[in-house]
Each structure stands twice: as structure tokens, then as C-alpha cells.
Amino acid sequence: MEMDRERLKKIIEQESQRLDNQTVFGGFDQYLKKMIQKLSISVPEELLIDVDRYPQMSNSAKSIFLRDLETYLKDGHQSQPFTPQPSPPTKSVDSQLSVRTINGVGPVVEKQLNRLNIYTREDLIFYFPRLYQDRGQIIPIAKVGSSVLQTVMGMVVRHERIATRRGRLLKIVIQDKTGQVSLVCFNRDFLARILTPGKKILLTGFFQMAYGKKETSRFEYEIIDSEDIQFESILPVYGLTDGLTTKKLRSLIDTALKTTLSVFQDTIPQPIREKYHLQRKPEAILELHHPSRSSFSELNKHRSRSQIALIFEEFLLFALSLKVRRHQIQACRVQPIVLDRKFIDHFVQKLPFELTFAQKKVIKQIENNLTSGSLMNRLLQGDVGSGKTLVAIIGALYIVKAGQQVAMMAPTEILADQHYLRWSQVLKDFGIEVGLLTGGQSKEKDEIIEKISEGKVHLVIGTHALLEDYVQFNQLGLVIVDEQHRFGVKQRSRLKEKAVVPHLLVMSATPIPRTLALTLYGDLDISVLDEKPVGRKPVETVAFSMKEQAQAFQQVGSFLEKGQQAFVVCPAIEESDLELSNVNEVYGQLKNKWFPRSRVELIHGKLPSKEKDDIMIRFSRGGIQILVATSVIEVGIDVPNANVMVIENAERFGLAQLHQLRGRIGRGDQVGLCVLLYQGKSQDIQKRMEIMVNTDDGFLIAEEDLKMRGPGEFYGVRQSGILEFHLADPFRDWKILEKAHEEANFILQDDPRLQKPENQILKKEIERRFFQISSDELLIEA
Ligand SMILES: Nc1ncnc2c1ncn2[C@@H]1O[C@H](COP(=O)(O)OP(=O)(O)OP(=O)(O)O)[C@@H](O)[C@H]1O
């Protein structure tokens, strides 16, 4: 042992002197590994300490070396000499380890992976291919041009910069013996640096003809740097980011699969797996990265066997977690709230309007929850402007009058601010202290946090910052979450940690058909505000072609003359997309050409929060007349004096999103006008514009949206990533979702707290992904 140690020390010493830093970083660990093998030495544990004595080694080299030694030790090489093996042994490594623990991932690659939302080994393994490259089917460029995925091989011959209205668009021309094809690089300017002339590439994508030439804008590529290509294989093609190549990503994923795949246990109980003929998890994962020829033909068409197995698992865990949570919440006893009805009556009397019948009905439901001694866990759905916030505030007032605090969480700072501005003013007269806590503040933050912990602030309005550990409430009684679709089960559960157990009211203006809502939000009771305030006039909607922009702006002018305000909404921020309107350009036109004497401002998501806030505050106070915006304004903005909205490139938005956007106007007693400017003559676009012009019912529009755009595009829910599914899409895969719900019911009927030995894997996985399942934790004595 002593001998080995000395020899290894010597190697380290010699090598760290010989190798410069750069080489050390790239290859020292490999080198040492080979040495260990070559020398057939055992690796003594003390060496881990010895490594620290070599200052010449860079830190990263040291850590890689340490890690490798550790793995060797774990593999049982402590006692016997290491015998060289033809291929390295397959090791099982914890899936939650950082990607940095994978060979070949240094700080630079780590950052690149992080940009793809890959942080752990598991993330990497669940980063599934976007496309597959069938090398057995490489076709000549002359033959491309149908709507199916195709692969060609060619050489980069030149770059072209096409002048467009919005800047210079990169096109990269690829050539083989039969012809040329252009890669149209929207938002991928970095490809100019990577795909330089002379590079040979494999190109997989959807090709089309444009102006007599072949081109593709939906493609993935792989640089071929050796002649050694296996032409038979089907290879995964992953979404990339600047600096990361297909080859590198493939090799990292393969390494992760080799070392970590075996830790993924089957969570679906065997009888269920057999019933639906579901593939085992590790096999399914492997097959998605490396499909066989038979599963490949399935993959491009519909959900493959492997996808179904993984989707089923995701849904089963999700369904179980909702049901278990609901069960826990129902079992939980809390102190009933004593309702101060007199105070609420007084508050309601002071409102400048009558509550709608629907509002009264939902307030009653909330009252029942609060006085029942059980926890409220309610989803409040309602069309835009149906008065959800007011209902929630009334719920909040009950809690505050009972001596507890309320947290109200908004999805954006703009919205948090707006709620704060509005409610701090209104509630001041009723002796209620409202505080604002967002991520952006600094100086006032400490002060407000202290006040929250002392219970001096009654209603705290904020963003996700409210979930931070440093925010401690004195006595949190109710949490109101504004806009459900940005807030998932995991977050809902995290709130529970803020207080013994708060009541929960979630508001959503995303109209989700009831059956789907039940499956997706099965842990919540659902209330619907299905009536708009009396006197609220529907927003008049008209649709013009983009060519008639002038007419739209004339309409804006007439509203401004009446002293009202306007929104102009555009889909894109930068000059990236050829055809799209963008805020900067439209802002310039409006300010300089159309309304030089009006106050025009620009707002989009990329502005610093402070600036966004200032603009929104000035707009809501009437200091800005025209607000040019991206869809940042889509949720919840409430400026009753803004009554006209122009939406540019309206065809780019989903119907439900257009409905949300136009819900920003006509919120007072004036008639609102929404002008949709669209481009394109297709039947689909015409039909969508027609629906918007003719319908004002959010739920109907949502259903139309579902029918027309297909469930995969359903507004809000999927994009938000809140449901945290890797592969599953509740809208597209609703049949699997239903089955998973059924099975979850069977499992829980038999074992409500998941205590049986056969359900332990399931339980562990739910706890890892969602929340702790502790049956006693919530049983608090009233
Ligand atoms: N019963 C009512 N009668 C008249 N106006 C009302 C009534 N209830 C609320 N309002 C007003 O309607 C506007 C919209 O209300 P609120 O913000 O509560 O709706 P919301 O459903 O939360 O809207 P959104 O989802 O669009 O943000 C507010 O200006 C509010 O004061």
C-alpha cells in the first residue's frame, strides 16, 4: 500500500510540473486514470488528502481527480489491486449530482448546459432529442422538400446576409453534388461562427421551397469532422445552445446514461405496468435516446411505446400527488375563523358598485370554508374582468379581521405593484396595512420583512419573493395566488412551510374546461365567476389586415381626443423575425410619425424591473397616453381609463391570449375597442379573427383555441413549465392522463397514505418531486 501511494504521489508530482494549466484542465484526470490502470495499483484513501498538497494542480483538475478516485474506491478497489478492464466498469451514480460530476463537463460546458436548463445528471438524461437523424436515409439535396423530416449531407459554401425590414438575416448555404439548400437562421446568428465555409455537416430538418430555392428554418445540424460515420445508425439530435455541439452533447448524455441510468427505478407498480404493457423505465429512456429502427418509425408520427411509458409515470405521480395532498388537506383541522360580517358589509357598501350574483356566491363558498374548521384550498376561475381580485380581497379582509395575515402573490412585479397601488389606497381607510415585497427592492426590503415578521403588515402583496426563506410571517392565515398557471403544485406546497397551515385561494383567468381543470388541479375545490359586472360592455373587436394600420391608428387618435389611453401590442421585441412587428419600431413610428404630441412609452419584459414599474405606474396614473407593449401586459393589468387596444400581428397570438390581452381594456364604464391587425390570408387566420370578433366569452374561446390550435399549444399552461413534466403534455396526452388518474384512485383506495411496502418507491418519488407525505404533519388540533 505504502508503495502504491509513493508511486502515485510521484506521478502526480511529475505530471503537475510538466503539464501546463490548460493541459491539466483537459486531460490530467484521464492521464492519471490510465496510470492507475497501467500500474495496477490499489488506491489508498489517504491519497485523497495528499492531493491537496499539490498546489500546481488546478482546482478543477484536483476535483476531477478526487472524484475519480472516489468512484474507484466505491467500486470496491480499496482492497484488491486494480486490474485493467477492456472497458471501464459501469457505475451507478446518484441522479441528483451536478452535471459537473460528469467526465468532460468543466465550468464552460456546465454553463452551456445550464442554459438548456440542465443542472443535474437527471436533467441531462431527461433532455430528450428534438429530432432523430436517420443516417440510413440520407438523401441528395436535390430530393428534399416535403413536409417530413429529412437528412442531407453537404458542405457549407457561403453565408448570405439578407436585408430585411428589420435587419440582416443570416442564411447559410449548404451544397452537395446535387444542389444547394439555405439554412435560415432566425435568432441563431451564432451559427455564423460555427458553420464556416468548408465545414462538412449532416443536416436534419424540414425543408421547403421559397422563391424557387430550397431552404429550412427548422433544422438541427451536426459537424462531421471525420470520415468515420456509421451510416446505418439512427442518431438523436438535441436542441443546442451557443458553443455546445451535437457531438459533445451526445457524448455527455451517453456518459450520463452509462453511469446513471440504472438508478432510475420503475415507479409504476408492476400490475399496472403489465396491464398497459408499459415498458420499463430505464429501457424507455434508453430507447428515446437511441431508438431502434422499428421504434424510430413510430417516433416521428405519434407517441412511441417508450414515450407512453414515461408519460404514464409522470401522470401517475402527478395524479397521486394531487390526491394525496387533497386527502391531507381535508384531514387537517384548523381553528375556524370568526367572521366579522359587519366590517365586510361596511366595506361592500363603500364600493361604487353592487357585487354580482356570482361574486356573492363565491364569497359565500369562501365563508363556508373559513368557518368550517377545515382548510380552504380553492381555485377561483373567472373570465377577464369578472371581479376575481375583489372577491379574494374580501376573503383576505375576513382573515385580517380575525387577527391573521394574508399574503397575495402575483406572477410579475408589474402586477404585484399594481395590486399594491390599488389596494393600499383603498384599504388605508379601513385601517388595514398593506405592504409590498418583490425581488427587486433593496432598501425598503429589510424594513418590510421585519414588519411582516412582527405582524405589523396585514396584507403582504408580492411576487415569488414571498416564498423565500427569509420571509417569515407572524401569523399567516391565507395565501392568495394570482394566476394559477404560473404556480404549480410544488409551489403550493412550499407555501405551507411558511405558516402552520394557511388557507389557500388561487385565482385564474385562464379558462380551462372544467373536466381538464379537475384533472390538473384535482387538489383544489373550484369556484367559477361566470358573470361579468352589470353595465360592463363587451369590448368591440374589429380585425384589419396589417396594411390598414393607418386606420387603426386613426381610431387610437379618436380615443385620445376623448382623454382616454391606448395600448399597442406587438409580438416581438427585437429585430429578429423577418415579418413580425416589433415594439421598438412601432414605438418609433407612433412617437415620431403618428402622435408626436402625445406621451408614448414603451414597455417589454427585457426592461429592468424598476423601469417597468415606473412606466406602469405612470400609465395607470394617466401620465402616459399610449403604451406600446409586448405581451407583458397580458395578465391582470387594470387601468380603467385605457379603452382602445391595437394588436399587431394578431395571428401570432393564441385566441385565449388575445382574449386576455383585450381584457385589459373596457374595464371601466366605457366601451372598449380592440383592433386586431393580422397578416396572412389563410383560412385558419380568417377563422380565428372571426371568432375574436364575434365572441366575448373566455371559456368558449378557450374551447375554440383547443380545437383549432391543438391541445399542445394551449395557452399558458404548457409554456409556464409549471406542471414540470418532461415529456407529458396534459392536453395532447389527456387519454393517458385519465388512465393515470384512474389507477391513482385504485392505489389510494387500497393504501390512502402510501404506507404499503409495494408503494414505497412511488411515495419516495412523489416526495422527491413534489412534497413530503407525512400523514401526521397536517393534523393540527383545532
Ligand atoms: N361587481 C362589480 N361591478 C362593477 N365593477 C366591478 C365589480 N367587481 C369588480 N369590478 C371592477 O372591475 C374591474 C376588474 O375587477 P378585478 O380586477 O377584480 O377583476 P379580475 O377578474 O381580477 O380581472 P382580471 O382577471 O382581468 O385581472 C376592477 O376595476 C373592479 O373594480
> How do residues 257-298 score in pLDDT, each as one tens digit?
988 888 888 889 999 999 999 989 998 999 889 887 766 666
203 Cβ neighbours under 8 A, 6+ residues apart: 151, 152, 153, 154, 174, 181, 183, 216, 219, 220, 221
Residue whose C-alpha is closest to residue 642's, from 655, 614, 661, 658:
661
**Does 426 contact ligand 1 (Cβ within 6 A)?**
no
pLDDT of 304: 78
Residue whose C-alpha is closest to residue 491's, from 715, 753, 737, 771:
771
291 inside domain: no
Selected residue with higher pLDDT from 571 and 550: 550
| φ/ψ of residue 675, rounded to 5 | -105, 120
How many other CB atoms sit within 10 Å of the CB of residue 461? 28
Cell of 223: 459537424
pLDDT of 674: 95
pLDDT at 677 over 90: yes
- Mean pLDDT is lowest, of 51-60, 363-372, 684-693, for 51-60
- Express as a percent the part of the chain with pLDDT over 70: 75
How far away, in angstroms, is 388 Cα from ligand 1 center?
Answer: 6
Instruction: Please give the order of strands across the beta sheet that includes 565-569.
Output: 540-545, 673-678, 642-647, 565-569, 626-629, 600-603
| Closest residue to atom 14 of ligand 1, CA basis | 385
503 inside domain: yes
**Does 357 contact ligand 1 (Cβ within 6 A)?**
no
339 inside domain: no
Cell of 231: 451510416
pLDDT at 576 over 50: no
ipTM: 0.97
- 475-484 mean pLDDT: 83
419 inside domain: yes
| Closest residue to atom 9 of ligand 1, CA basis | 387
Q: What is the mean pLDDT of the chain?
A: 78
pLDDT of 273: 92
Residues 524 and 544 in one domain: no
Give dist(CA 179, CA 145) in Å, integer: 12
pLDDT of 232: 58
Give the pairing of strands 377-382 and 213-223. Answer: unpaired
Residues 500 and 552 in one domain: no
- 503-521 mean pLDDT: 74
Residues 223 and 145 in one domain: yes
Number of folded domains that form the chain: 4
pLDDT of 483: 67
643 inside domain: yes
Give pLDDT tens digits for 604-661: 877 777 788 788 888 888 899 999 988 777 666 778 889 999 999 898 888 888 888 8
pLDDT of 487: 57
Give pLDDT tens digits for 180-227: 999 988 777 888 888 999 999 988 888 888 778 899 888 888 888 766
Residues 459 and 593 in one domain: no
CATH number of the CATH domain containing 454 = 3.40.50.300
Give the pairing of strands 131-134 and 234-237. Answer: antiparallel
**Does 389 contact ligand 1 (Cβ within 6 A)?**
yes
Give dist(CA 220, CA 246) in Å, integer: 9
Residues 614 and 645 in one domain: yes
Do residues 643 and 665 touch, judged by C-beta distance below 8 A? yes
Residues 504 and 650 in one domain: no
**Does 388 contact ligand 1 (Cβ within 6 A)?**
yes
pLDDT of 412: 76
Q: Name the DSSP letter for residue 715.
A: T
Residues 503 and 549 in one domain: no
Residues 576 and 678 in one domain: yes
pLDDT of 780: 35
pLDDT of 72: 44
Residues 511 and 377 in one domain: yes
756 inside domain: no
33 inside domain: yes
Residues 558 and 591 in one domain: yes
pLDDT of 407: 92
pLDDT at 466 over 90: no
How far away, in angstroms, is 389 Cα from ligand 1 center?
Answer: 7
60 inside domain: yes
Do residues 477 and 337 touch, judged by C-beta distance below 8 A? yes
pLDDT of 712: 39
349 to 2, 354, 534: CA distances (angstroms): 88, 8, 16
Cell of 127: 433532455
Residue whose C-alpha is closest to residue 199's, from 231, 172, 177:
172
- Express as a percent the part of the chain with pLDDT over 90: 25
**Does 384 contact ligand 1 (Cβ within 6 A)?**
yes
405 Cβ neighbours under 8 A, 6+ residues apart: 399, 452, 455, 457, 458, 459, 460, 473, 474, 475, 476, 477
pLDDT of 546: 86
pLDDT of 403: 94
- Which residues form the domain of 211? 131-237
Which amino acid does the sequence have at 641? N
| φ/ψ of residue 645, rounded to 5 | -140, 130
pLDDT confidence tier of residue 777, bands split at 50, 70 and 90 = very low
**Does 387 contact ligand 1 (Cβ within 6 A)?**
yes
Do residues 528 and 382 touch, judged by C-beta distance below 8 A? yes
pLDDT of 582: 73
pLDDT of 700: 81
Range ranked top by mean pLDDT from 354-368, 507-521, 545-559: 354-368
Select from 468, 495, 529 the last residue of a domain. Answer: 529
Residues 377 and 434 in one domain: yes
pLDDT of 42: 54
Give dist(CA 779, CA 775) in Å, integer: 8
pLDDT of 464: 78
Residues 376 and 414 in one domain: yes
Question: Among the residues of 165-292, which ranges form H helices?
Answer: 191-194, 246-260, 270-275, 281-289
> What kind and span of H or E run contains 307?
helix 305-331
Select from 633, 663, 695 the last residue of a domain. Answer: 695
Select from 51, 78, 105 the last residue of a domain. Answer: 78
Give dist(CA 694, CA 671) in Å, integer: 16
pLDDT at 434 over 80: yes
| Closest residue to atom 23 of ligand 1, CA basis | 385
Longest alpha-carbon distance in the chain: 93
